[in-house]
């Protein structure tokens, strides 16, 4: 974190920027101090410290977190605070970038950007309710119980299961289908992914799943609307301190 003259950059937001934001991948953005200070209490403190230690009025902030502070993610954050629209995720990389964006928003305590993401995620999922597992992780990350409830209500959760790359997938015959898998079977997730689900979400999910399950021809079948309702109710009881401890 230091003061310096502006760097040359084609990534400029608005006119007369007075801050150079250098990302962890060394790509930079020319932005405005008042936009960052209004959007984030953490950026406000960083900028105040920088201005207090230098007579140069053009600020340079160097970011170093290579996981969430690279330019692709920071661009999404800046688009939000500058009032630009985000497009819904389509590719796997889009989901990864938005996942990192939510983590960055929480790190920098940016309430407007957080609310923008909550609204966008709900809208995107209602428009294209696939990749329920990714949206459930989003809900856990930003602690959005309503989004988690919406995701659960969209069941059943089936996805294709194949180890082949897309160009190598061939249809065997008209009545042969790809093997599907239950993408919201939390117990089958990789541990690194499973641990991102807070304990209260895990408990409410598994308890609601059990209570909403019915036996049909020897197979357990879930009523997902009932499961979603039970999930939200259990979460409310846990958060309100009224859930039975025993």
- Phi, psi dihedrals of residue 65, rounded to the nearest 5°: -75, 105
Task: Name the β-bridge partners of 97.
Answer: none
- 179 vs 51, which has greater pLDDT? 51
- pLDDT tops 70 at residue 219: no
Helix ranges (H only) for the chain are: 33-39, 41-52, 71-81, 92-107, 111-127, 132-142, 145-153, 191-194, 199-211, 224-240
In this structure, is residue 31 part of a structural domain?
Answer: no
What's the structural domain count of the chain?
Answer: 1
- 61 vs 166, which has greater pLDDT? 61
The CA distance from 40 to 210, in Å, is 41
Q: Tell which residue, 68, 232, 74, has the closest CA to residue 144.
A: 232
In this structure, is residue 184 part of a structural domain?
Answer: yes
In this structure, is residue 99 part of a structural domain?
Answer: no
The CA distance from 2 to 46, in Å, is 10
The CA distance from 137 to 193, in Å, is 8
- pLDDT tops 70 at residue 163: no
**In which domain, by residue range, is 237 found?**
145-163+180-246
pLDDT of residue 181: 58
- Phi, psi dihedrals of residue 243, rounded to the nearest 5°: -75, 135
- pLDDT tops 60 at residue 53: yes
- 64-86 pLDDT, tens digit per residue, is 999 999 999 999 999 999 999 89
Whole-number Cα distances in Å, 190 to 107, 179, 196? 24, 19, 10
- Phi, psi dihedrals of residue 19, rounded to the nearest 5°: -145, 130
- 218 vs 192, which has greater pLDDT? 192
pLDDT of residue 218: 54
In this structure, is residue 205 part of a structural domain?
Answer: yes
pLDDT of residue 138: 97
- 206-215 pLDDT, tens digit per residue, is 999 999 987 5
In this structure, is residue 225 part of a structural domain?
Answer: yes
pLDDT of residue 162: 47
Query: Would you place residue 102 in the very low, low, confident or very high pLDDT band (cuts 50, 70, 90)?
Result: very high
In this structure, is residue 199 part of a structural domain?
Answer: yes
In this structure, is residue 194 part of a structural domain?
Answer: yes
pTM for this one? 0.82
In this structure, is residue 9 part of a structural domain?
Answer: no
Whole-number Cα distances in Å, 95 to 67, 100, 121, 134? 14, 9, 11, 7
Q: Tell which residue, 108, 100, 50, 42, has the closest CA to residue 76.
A: 100
Burial of 44 (0-12, 13-18, 19+ CB in 10 A): middle
Task: Name the β-bridge partners of 180.
Answer: 160
Whole-number Cα distances in Å, 110 to 42, 77, 105, 142, 246? 8, 10, 5, 12, 38
- Phi, psi dihedrals of residue 162, rounded to the nearest 5°: -155, 145
pLDDT of residue 14: 87
Q: Are 136 and 184 in contact (CB under 8 A)?
A: yes
């Amino acid at each position: 974190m230091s003061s310096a003259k502006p760097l040359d950059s084609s990534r400029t937001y608005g006119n007369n920027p007075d801050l150079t934001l250098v990302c962890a991948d060394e790509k930079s953005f020319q932005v405005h101090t008042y936009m960052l200070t209004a959007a984030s209490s953490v950026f406000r403190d960083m900028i105040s410290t920088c201005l207090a230690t230098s007579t140069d009025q053009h600020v340079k902030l160097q970011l170093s977190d290579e996981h969430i502070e690279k330019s692709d993610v920071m661009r999404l954050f800046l688009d939000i605070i500058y009032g630009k629209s985000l497009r819904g995720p389509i590719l796997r990389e889009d989901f990864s970038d938005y996942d990192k964006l939510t983590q960055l928003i929480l790190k920098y305590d940016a309430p407007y950007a957080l609310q923008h993401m909550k609204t966008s995620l709900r809208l995107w999922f209602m428009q294209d309710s696939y990749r329920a597992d990714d949206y459930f992780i989003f809900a856990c990350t930003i602690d959005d119980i309503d989004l988690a409830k919406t995701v659960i209500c969209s069941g059943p959760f089936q996805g294709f299961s194949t180890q082949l790359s897309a160009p190598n997938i061939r249809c065997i015959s008209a009545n042969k289908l790809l093997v599907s898998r239950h993408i919201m079977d939390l117990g089958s997730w990789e541990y690194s992914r499973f641990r991102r689900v807070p304990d209260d979400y895990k408990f409410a999910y598994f308890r609601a799943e059990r209570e909403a399950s019915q036996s049909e021809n020897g197979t357990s079948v879930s009523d997902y609307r009932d499961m979603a309702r039970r999930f939200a109710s259990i979460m409310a009881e846990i958060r309100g301190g009224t859930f039975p401890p025993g």
